[in-house]
Every structure is written in C-alpha cells, then in structure tokens.
A and B are shown apart, each in its own frame.
Chain A
C-alpha cells in the first residue's frame, strides 16, 4: 500500500514534469515553423462547409495562379456566423499570434479590432489595387472608420429581404409578386393570413433574425438617412418615431411562431417552405440555402422588406491585414485576389452572394443574384447592425440581449431604453 502510494505520487510528479517540458517543446517547434515557412499564408475563416467552403475554394484557386510565390494554408473554424471562430481568433490575437489574414464583417464590427490595435489600415492597398474606383462610393463610405479602411470585402449580402410562399399567400388572396408598400400594409396582410387560418404567418427565429426584423421595421419607418443615423449617433433613439416603429415590431411579433426563441433561421425558412408560415425575413443567403435544399424557384418569392424598397441593407465578409501578422506580403497578395474581379467572381458565384465591385458581369450569376446586383447599383446602401456593418460586437451583444428579453415580455419603453444604451457603449 505504501509502495503503491509513493508510486502514484512519483507518477504525478513525472506527469507534471512532462507537462512543463511539453510547453517548452511547443515553443521551440513554433519558432521553427516561423523561420522555415515564410511562404505560408494562413487564412482564418469560418467557411468550413457548404457554399461557403466552395466559395473559399474558388478564391484559393485564383490565389494559386495569381500568387505562385505563396502557399495557402486553410485555418477555418466551423460554426454558424463565426460563433466558435471568433473565440479562437480572439485567443490567437490575444496571444500575439495572428494569422496572415482573417475574416471579419466589414464596417463597425472591425472597431473592436481597431481599438485593440490588432488590424492595420489598408487604405493604401485600395489605391494600389484600384479598388477605390472599382467599389461604389457609397460602400467605401460605409467601410471607412475615422478616414481609414481596415478590410477588403470579398462579397456583399443583402439583409432586408422577405421570403414568401405564394401558395400560402393565395389562401388569403394576397398577391405574392408584390411587396406590401409599408409595414402597416404588411400587418394588414398578416391579419388576412391569420383570418385565413395560418396561425403564425410570420416565420421568425432566435437571435439575429429578430434583430434583422427590428432593423427592417426601423428602416421602413425612419427612412435611410435617419436609420443610418441611429448607428452613427445622429438620430436620437429616444425619439417618438422610434417608439412608433418599435410598437409595429411588437405587433409583428404577435404574428410569429411561439417557438421563435428555440429555432434557427433555417427552421423558420422551413416553416415557409412547408406552408406553415407565409413569410420570413432573412438575408439573401437564403437563396443559396433554397438551391442547396432543391426548393424550386416557383415555390417561393422574395422582395425587399415592406417599406424598404430602394434601400439595400448590406453586410459584407471581408479580409483584414492583422498587425504583426505572419507573412504580410503574402497576406497582401491574398487581399489583392480578394478584391480582384476574378477573385470576386470565383468566390461569389459559389457562395451565393454578389461581388462588391460594380464592374461584374451579371450574366455570370444565378437568377437571384442578378436582381440583387441590379439593386446594388441603383439602391441606397444602408448598413446592417446584426451583421456587423453598423455596430461593434459589444453593441450587437447588448441589442441581442435586449431583444431576447423583449421576445418573452414585450415592453416597448424598456426595449427603446436598452437599444439607446447599447449604442452608447462601444
């Protein structure tokens, strides 16, 4: 027994020594890889499967021909909207070991990285690559933070899109081809659907889907200038027009499914496809999802969220140049490919988004993207908070918390205060 105990203790001690020596080893090996592999360009994304992975592969194939001197190293972390990836990235950045380049939503969400001194200004690259001419001015304005741009967008998605099931809408004799002119008209249609026996005519899911719906209502009720002002501090959150809009959002919630806090956007879309709901509001990645699920074109229609026609609420995935990142020259080559016409085409035709460049040829793209590209050229471009174009991760976090509280116990005054407070923090 005594022998057994001391043996155990010796083992524990040995394990401790091993742990310490293991730490030493890993330091050595990472030092080696730094010196030997300066051709590697580690690209950090959360595009690990589906259309996103296909898009990334497209980008890589262009990179391999354009940047022959460098080698692409995939550093993707799976998980929807980067939930896991952002945690891993935060750890790497905190440890001072940034990848060569990493994916981030373009716009205000980058502020966290900018404030933390983790990304470099790439304004000069815009001039070098001619992107200041190729991207619409409206987009450049939305990307600029304090006179500088910190990332290069690979794609554009539209947030303010409503997807509808014409078969369901027919039950209440609603014309599915045309969007209701305003939020009020939409509510009237939702009432008709409810009267026609559709119990929850508006498919809604948890988290950012609710945030997107609030934003669409605010955009419709306030108009693009005042809406954009909500995010840059020029519009007062305490205003009466905001109260009125939030009351309409409250009404919209009553038409939605009661399990909205428990399901994801793909489930809400499923309700529409199955005919349980008439509408769902979600970004245009739905188009790629419908293609993947083999839902025929005729089974659904889409239009800008009611009252927001003529406005293109955008979000963009973009790539950054991390401060003190590995192999900055290789990273710049990656950024060049990301912004180039070939790169954007290879990426977007597969991912189901549209290119940020205005010189792309619509004929290269599927049906939905063609209409989105036409809108992108002529519409007013407004940012989306839910996807990082208009707010920081922290603000977004507070807004999501307030909306989840509202979903359970709707109190408009409380929500309005919480939204205002969220935008006061950074």
Chain B
C-alpha cells in the first residue's frame, strides 16, 4: 500500500493544482455559463428570483436576424481566412524551402506580423481600409490611386456583398497569421528526410511529381493542425474586427462581438447562450481532431 502511494502520489500531487484550477476556471465556469443560458436572467440585477426557461434563449437566438447574420458572417470569414492563410503560408514556405539567399531575413519579415497584437494591427488596418476613393482616397485606396491601379480601389467592408465585406476583414487576419503557417510548413518540409527526395529523384520523378506525391503527403498532419489552429482562432476572433469596425456594425458583426454587446446591456442569459453556441461551434472542429490525435498516439 505504502509503496503504491509512493509511485503515484507525487505525480498526483503535482497535477492537483492544475486539475483544480482547470476544473474550476475552465470547466466549472463553462457549466456555470451553460446554466445561466437556461435561465431568464435578462438583467444585471444581483440575486433576485431566476426561473429556468429551458432552451428558450437558444430558440430565440436562432429566430433573430442579427444573430443569424453574425453566424453567416462568421462562416464566410472562417472559410476566407483559412483558405487565404493556408495558401499564402504554403506559397511562402515553398519559396523559402526552395532555398533563397537571406532566408532568415524573409522568415523574420513574414513572421513579424504575428508579433503585433490584434488590437494594434486592427487600428492600423482600420485606417488602411478607408473606403474613400478617387481624389479623396486614403489608406490602401490612396496607394492604388498613386500607382494608377484604379480598378483595385474599393469600398472594403463598408459596402457590397457578405463575401466582399468579410474578405476585407479576413485580409488583415490573413496578413497576420500567414507567417505562422509558413513556419509550420517550413518545419514540416525540413522534417522530411532527404533520402526520400533523393530516392524520388533517382527514380526519375519530375519536380512537380516530387512535391505532389512525395512531399505534400508528408505535410498532411501539419496541414490538419494548421486547419484546427486557424479554425478556432477565426471562430473566436473579436479584437481585430472590433478595432477595425467598432461595435454595433451589422455588416461585420460576428457572434463574439454580438455577445459582448449583449453582455454590456446586461442581458446575461442571452449572452451566455451566444457563448455556448460559440463553444459548440469550436467543439465541432476541435473534438474530432483531439479524438484523432489520441487514437494516433495510442496506436504508436
């Protein structure tokens, strides 16, 4: 008995703080939020009687234009953001992988945007994405104006369809995170043993076939991780959009901003319901990934 405690005791002791803190601050508060979302606590009033209303807050949400609009915005943003970041990240990684002089310089340049906080880059992008055109153009439109690229000038997020609106919002996010994805892919390329390339070349594979059939398949676990990382970042994106467009901007509102607005007006139950919907959306993405990773690891 004494011997057994000695084997698992220290481990458990060391884990205990983490388990307690995570249990309370993450899972406990998720449970508390979910509980709030089932009530009619629509004010910031402390105490007082609170009734349980089942899933009424959720059904109301899914009948509300503003919430559905924010969900659609989020879907479009996520697609554009993931595709854009993966494409640029992969292209940059390929270019660097082919070997350029001054690789370190380029790698740093591509990675630097990630070091800037989203709220700061959001403020600057807000200026860059000024919708004025022609003689009054400012920001990026001014640059296009000076370069005589008039066809590139546009109203950014302030007009047009949902896709063009959210593309303007995805642009800064892509700019900010492509470097990170590049680093992931570059590490992936570097991790592929040189023997594989040599073997392929000896067998007479063209450069394209080498990438298509030998190197890219080796990158798929990295691509999957990148997809998950980008996906959950996009679903939680708040500061960048808030800094560019401000609160209460219907065109670019995503659930996180709507939740903030809702909470600020004291409607705690509805804000909690939005939070739980966001959590569910992220879970749909993350849980299969975690299950997959766990299975992979137990197979090894």
**Residue positions of A touching B, CB distance < 8 A:** 6, 9-10, 12-13, 16-17, 19, 83, 86-87, 90, 93-94, 96, 112, 115-118, 199-200, 206-207, 257-259, 261-263, 276, 392-394, 397-398, 400-402, 404-405, 407-409
Contact = CB atoms under 8 A, between A and B. Distances in A.
A397 B132 contact: no
A344 to B, nearest CB: 30
B159 A86 contact: no
Contact of B17 (A17, A398, A401, A408): A17
Interface stretch (B96-104, B201-209, B247-255, B277-285): B247-255
A118 B44 contact: yes
B14 interface: yes
A262 B136 contact: no
Nearest to A263: B130
| Interface class of chain A by DSSP | helix
14 contacts: A12-B18, A13-B14, A83-B247, A90-B266, A115-B45, A116-B44, A116-B45, A261-B249, A262-B158, A394-B265, A401-B66, A402-B250, A404-B248, A408-B158
Interface in B10-55: 13-18, 20-21, 43-46, 48
A200 B131 CA distance: 14
B221 interface: no
Nearest to A87: B264
B265 A405 contact: no
Given A258-B133, A258-B155, A259-B132, A90 B18 contact: no
By CB atoms of chain A within 10 A, which of B126, B155, B247, B266 has the most? B266
A261 B168 CA distance: 14
Interface in B89-148: 126, 129-133, 136, 138
B265 A112 contact: yes
B220 interface: no
Contacts of A12: 14, 17-18
Contacts of B265: 112, 392-394, 397
Nearest to B11: A9
Contacts of A263: 130
A392 B14 CA distance: 50
- Sorted nearest first, the 6 A-B pairs with minimum C-beta distance are A16-B17, A405-B250, A400-B248, A394-B265, A116-B44, A259-B132
A90 B44 contact: yes
Nearest to B48: A117
A257 B157 CA distance: 15
Contacts of B165: 408
Contact of B136 (A10, A87, A276): A276
B262 to A, nearest CB: 8
Contact of A261 (B21, B138, B158, B247): B158
B178 interface: no
Given A12-B18, A116-B44, A261-B131, A397 B248 contact: yes
A258 B134 CA distance: 11
A393 B44 CA distance: 13
B234 interface: no
Nearest to A271: B136
A96 B46 contact: yes
Contacts of A87: 264
B138 A259 contact: yes
Given A207-B248, A408-B159, A16 B264 contact: no
Contacts of B251: 404-405, 408
Interface string B177-189: 0000000000000
B245 interface: yes
B267 A394 contact: yes
B225 interface: no
A331 B66 CA distance: 40
B246 interface: yes
B261 interface: yes
Given A86-B264, A394-B265, A261 B44 contact: no
Contacts of A9: 14-15
B6 to A, nearest CB: 15
B124 to A, nearest CB: 13
Contacts of A402: 250
Nearest to B14: A9
Given A394-B267, A408-B160, A408-B251, 16 more contacts: A9-B14, A19-B21, A86-B264, A112-B265, A116-B266, A118-B45, A200-B136, A207-B248, A257-B136, A259-B138, A261-B158, A261-B249, A262-B126, A262-B130, A392-B265, A408-B250
By CB atoms of chain B within 10 A, which of A199, A262, A407 has the most? A262
